């Protein structure tokens, strides 16, 4: 993949934006797709290729389009010059869900092309699936792990899931998982870090006492700790590093609306989340290729 993007693709319009995304996704897709996927039945007779479907979904996420119906209709009317003939929306949606494992592989490949780190930062945030008052009547996610949980930052109970995330020191999502809202953060640390394999993991006070084989887990101590493990200067350094994940979570929740659950099935929820994570990483990668001073200023790339 080229480290830069041609000047003629830097035009500040939606079509140029779409071409950039499609170019990146196509190259990443070719890198990771297994033969069993690209040689599947009627693979060469599709109106939209896998790369185009993935690119379309990413563009919609980056533009903040939460309604798939509205986004697909808009893209069909305005982006045929980039994507050619569009398939039915139902086929687009089915293919998108079927590609969820390919999306995870593309995400991993994207991370490989960005700065690495030996230090990881772990945290979680709530994924409410409905208003708390309607939880008793909610049936969509019954039997799929949804549960009641408490959000300390908002000081309120909610019904749904908890999103656990590990990023590297500069802010890139390394791995993530979804659990019921009542699951303790420490319970998923070891499983999450099996994939990320960071030598050092930094978390908040909720990770005090957490362990992961081969990894040093550093948790922010409570202010009133009687026998502090770290000096004041060390705590300030730990706090400064850990704040990076707050910025990443803010971008995922505010720019990419990851907490706005509109999926009508658990599989749909998982697909939407995987695409939002990939959209974030793709925007960071393109900022790097464009030579942006701050590669995490993804709004500067999306909204010229």
**202-242: pLDDT as tens digits:** 998 888 888 888 899 998 877 766 777 788 888 888 889 99
**217-228: pLDDT as tens digits:** 998 877 766 777
> Kind of pairing, strands 156-168 and 147-151?
antiparallel
Measure Cα distances from 63 to 20, 42, 300 in Å: 14, 31, 12
User: Would you state the pLDDT for residue 304?
Assistant: 52
User: Would you state the pLDDT for residue 50?
Assistant: 92
CA 248/CA 228 separation, integer angstroms: 28
User: Would you state the pLDDT for residue 228?
Assistant: 76
Residue 4: which pLDDT band, with cuts at 50, 70 and 90? very low
CA 98/CA 96 separation, integer angstroms: 6
Six-digit token pair at 226?
Answer: 């009687």
Residue 6: which pLDDT band, with cuts at 50, 70 and 90? very low
Residue 291: which pLDDT band, with cuts at 50, 70 and 90? confident
**178-198: pLDDT as tens digits:** 999 999 999 999 888 888 889
User: Would you state the pLDDT for residue 229?
Assistant: 79
SS3 state at 119: strand
Alpha helices in 145-207 (DSSP H): 186-196
Asked whether residue 5 carries a pLDDT value surpassing 50, the answer given is no
Q: Identify the burial level of 217 via C-beta atoms within 10 angstroms of its C-beta, where 0-12 means exposed, 13-18 middle and 19 or more buried.
A: buried
**113-129: pLDDT as tens digits:** 888 888 999 999 999 99
| Interhelix angle 14-32/266-289, nearest 10 degrees | 110
CA 266/CA 272 separation, integer angstroms: 10
Vertex 103: Cα angle to 99 and 107 (nearest 5): 175
**152-173: pLDDT as tens digits:** 888 899 999 999 999 999 899 9
Cβ atoms of residues 201 and 217 within 8 Å: yes
Measure Cα distances from 249 to 68, 77, 172, 276 in Å: 23, 33, 11, 12
Average pLDDT over residues 133-146: 85
Measure Cα distances from 32 to 80, 278, 284 in Å: 26, 14, 19
**76-123: pLDDT as tens digits:** 999 999 999 999 999 999 999 999 999 999 999 998 888 888 899 999
User: Would you state the pLDDT for residue 302?
Assistant: 62
Kindly give, in sequence order, each residue whose CB lies less than 8 Å from that of residue 282, ignoring residues fewer than 6 positions away: 21, 24, 25, 58, 62, 110
Cβ atoms of residues 167 and 150 within 8 Å: no
User: Would you state the pLDDT for residue 127?
Assistant: 94
Kindly give, in sequence order, each residue whose CB lies less than 8 Å from that of residue 177, ignoring residues fewer than 6 positions away: 163, 164, 188, 191, 192
Cβ neighbours around 67 below 10 Å, total: 11
CA 41/CA 126 separation, integer angstroms: 40
**244-287: pLDDT as tens digits:** 999 999 999 998 999 988 888 899 899 999 999 999 999 999 88
**39-74: pLDDT as tens digits:** 777 767 788 999 999 999 999 999 888 788 899 999
Average pLDDT over residues 3-28: 73
State the fold for domain 119-260: Nucleotidyltransferase; domain 5 (3.30.420)
Domain ranges for the chain, please list them.
Answer: 7-112+293-302, 119-260
Residue 37: which pLDDT band, with cuts at 50, 70 and 90? confident
Kindly give, in sequence order, each residue whose CB lies less than 8 Å from that of residue 85, ignoring residues fewer than 6 positions away: 47, 48
- Report the share of the chain in percent with pLDDT over 90: 52
CA 174/CA 166 separation, integer angstroms: 6
């Amino acid at each position: 993949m080229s480290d830069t993007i041609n000047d003629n693709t830097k035009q500040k319009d939606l079509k140029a934006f779409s071409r950039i995304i499609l170019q990146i996704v196509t190259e990443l897709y070719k890198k990771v797709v297994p033969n069993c996927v690209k040689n599947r039945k009627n693979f060469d007779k599709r109106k939209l290729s896998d790369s185009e479907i993935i690119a379309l979904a990413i563009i919609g996420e980056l533009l903040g389009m939460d309604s798939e119906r509205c986004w697909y209709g808009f893209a069909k009317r305005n982006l045929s010059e980039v994507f050619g003939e569009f398939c039915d929306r139902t086929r687009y949606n089915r293919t998108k869900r079927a590609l969820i494992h390919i999306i995870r592989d593309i995400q991993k490949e994207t991370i490989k092309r960005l700065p690495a780190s030996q230090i990881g930062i772990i945290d979680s945030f709530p994924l409410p699936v409905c208003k708390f008052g309607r939880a008793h009547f909610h049936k969509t996610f019954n039997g799929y792990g949804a549960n009641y949980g408490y959000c300390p930052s908002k000081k309120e109970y909610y019904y749904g899931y908890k999103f656990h995330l590990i990023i590297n020191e500069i802010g890139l999502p390394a791995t993530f998982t979804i659990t019921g809202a009542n699951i303790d953060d420490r319970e998923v640390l070891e499983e999450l870090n099996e994939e990320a394999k960071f030598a050092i993991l930094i978390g908040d006070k909720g990770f005090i006492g957490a362990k992961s084989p081969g990894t040093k887990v550093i948790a922010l101590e409570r202010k009133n700790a009687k026998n502090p493990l770290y000096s004041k200067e060390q705590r300030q350094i730990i706090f400064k590093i850990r704040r990076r994940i707050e910025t990443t979570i803010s971008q995922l929740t505010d720019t990419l609306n990851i907490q706005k659950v509109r999926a009508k099935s658990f599989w749909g929820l998982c697909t939407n989340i995987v695409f939002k994570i990939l959209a974030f990483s793709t925007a960071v990668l393109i900022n790097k290729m464009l030579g942006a001073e701050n590669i995490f200023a993804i709004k500067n790339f999306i909204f010229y």
